[in-house]
Amino acid sequence: MNNPVLNHSCEQIQPPLLTMDKALNFLLDAAKTPTQTCNTLLNDSLDRVLAQNICSTINVPGFDNSAMDGYAIHLKNEQINRPGGFTFKITDRISAGSVGNTLESGCAARIFTGAPIPKGANTVVMQEECEVSDDGNSVEIWRPLSLNENIRPMGNDIKSGAIILEKGLKLKPQDIALAASVGINTLEVFKKIKVGVFFTGDELVSPTLALKPGQIYNSNSYALVAMLKHLNCDIVNLNNVEDTLDATVSALESLQYQCDLIITTGGVSVGEEDHVKPALEKLGKLSLWRIKMKPGKPLAFGQIGKSAFIGLPGNPVSALVTFFLFARPFIKKMQGINNYKNQTTQVQCNFDWRAPKLRREFVRVKLDHSTAPASANLYPKQGSDVLSSLVWAHGLVEIPEDCSFSQGALLNYYSLTDPTL
Ligand code: AMP
Ligand code: MG
């Protein structure tokens, strides 16, 4: 795709106005998929991304086994599906991990869950349905019995030769367990990506310090680090960087060869105090966009050294929302994850939207699950500086540009609270 940037060598020209879809497509097309892999032990593989399909070389279970504590029985033909009242001689005891002897016709073996079905046995009866004689030598059953009751057949879970986990899967606990269940101890995964972050703005201070007049705390630093940890990235955090061209250039220089991606917040408008654009243009390539969305109009994207660059807006809600909508799928693609795009569901809006807006809006909502589909209630203050709106909210409703609707309309919803999405 061509770079949708007009001429940005001239200071007077405003960055191009783009639809969100165009900006996202451009960004995702530019995200490089990973090539380097490494092996991890299963216990270190949570949230890593599989670099190859995993194929089982064994059946699971590897043998027919009992689904119950009870009695394995060799039913005679004339006993199958007949009214009960049959007595079977107990000739064996098979616990999980041991192998029993061949069961003669009309005989029973005491058996426990997971123990192999002995040769000759053709059904298993749970112990609650069995009456054992006082001397413990025989068992009587009073209901009709059919073949193969309570037997888990070989390969019931996994067949030998089957692909059990696919390349590009971000590993969850159950995936790791499945690999262990087929006797795999290490997994080939993509190398972690390293993300460098810094934050522009002379007003920013660390929450360890007392505020002086005009200062604010750097909350974006904590938002970004936490979101990158969620995505299992390695992080280099340079924290606050002075709002000068020199400081911005040297921050970028220190990160450009050690990181796969650099993310900043603030300084991507075209004000005099915004040095990200000139610094990036000095070292590499930059596209600066005004995106037809709210929150989060200004967004920068570029490349310096071996690192991609994403410059997010400074306002805390804008920074978090644009990280979620742009940086997150970009990072997931760089990590080799198959399903890297954000997932949406449909919710019904509990509010009207009377006046169409030029920009697509991502409003903070809380869901009421007592309706189906769930209904979305708006936070009363939707300003991009109101960080508490994101703490209150469950997610974002996407309101298309140029649209109006009444209460009950169905719209796309992005969960900010479901970690699996
Ligand atoms: P900017 O994009 O640099 O023009 O910043 C827009 C607004 O976001 C200003 O009110 C900044 O003070 C605020 N802001 C910028 N960076 C941060 C940050 N790291 N943490 C909290 N607020 C910020
Ligand atoms: Mg600033």
Residues 6+ apart with CB under 8 A from 210: none
Element (H, E) at 55: strand 54-55
383 lines ligand 1 (CB under 6 A): no
In angstroms, what is the span from residue 274 Cα to ligand 1's centroid? 11
What 3-state DSSP class applies to 279? helix
Enter the pTM of the model.
0.92
pLDDT(189) > 70: yes
Let me know: does 265 contact 225? Beta carbons within 8 Å: no
Rounded distance, CA 30 to CA 410, Å? 32
Q: Which ligand is nearest to the CA of 384?
A: 1
- Residue from 197, 198, 204, 238 to probe ligand 1 pocket by mutation (most atoms less than 8 Å from CB): 204
Q: Is any ligand 1 atom within 6 A of the Cβ of residue 240?
A: no
- Whether 335 lines ligand 1, by a CB cut-off of 6 Å, is no
Q: What's the rounded mean pLDDT across residues 194-207?
A: 96
The answer, yes or no, to whether residue 14 has pLDDT greater than 90, is: no
Give the pLDDT score at 95: 98
Please check the confidence at residue 5 and state whether its pLDDT lies above 90.
Answer: no
**CA-CA distance, 153 to 147, in Å (whole number)?**
13
**Count of other CB atoms within 10 angstroms of residue 98:** 11
Q: Which of 198, 215, 217, 220 to mutate to test the pocket of ligand 1 (most atoms within 8 A of CB)?
A: 220
- pLDDT band of residue 420 (cuts 50, 70, 90) is low
User: What band does 9 get if pLDDT is binned at 50, 70 and 90?
Assistant: very low
Task: For residue 387, give both structure tokens.
Answer: 């960080």
Residue-wise DSSP of 324-384: IIIIHHHHHHHTT-SS-SPP-EEEEESS-B-S--SSEEEEEEEEETTSSS-EEEE-S---T
pLDDT higher than threshold 80 for residue 302: yes
- Tokens in use for 106? 């009309």
Output the CA 316–ligand 1 centroid distance in Å. 7
Is the minimum distance from the CB of 316 to ligand 1 under 6 angstroms? yes
- pLDDT tens-digit series, residues 310-357: 999 999 999 999 999 999 999 999 999 999 999 999 999 999 999 999
Tens of pLDDT, residues 38-72: 999 999 999 999 999 999 999 999 999 999 999 99
The verdict on the CB of residue 220 being under 6 Å from ligand 1 is yes
Look at residue 138 and give its three-state secondary structure: strand
CA neighbor of 66 nearest in space, from 106, 92, 94: 94
Cβ neighbours, 10 Å, residue 234: 15
Tell me the average pLDDT across 270-290: 86
Sheet with 234-241: strands ordered across: 17-18, 285-291, 298-304, 307-312, 261-265, 194-200, 234-241
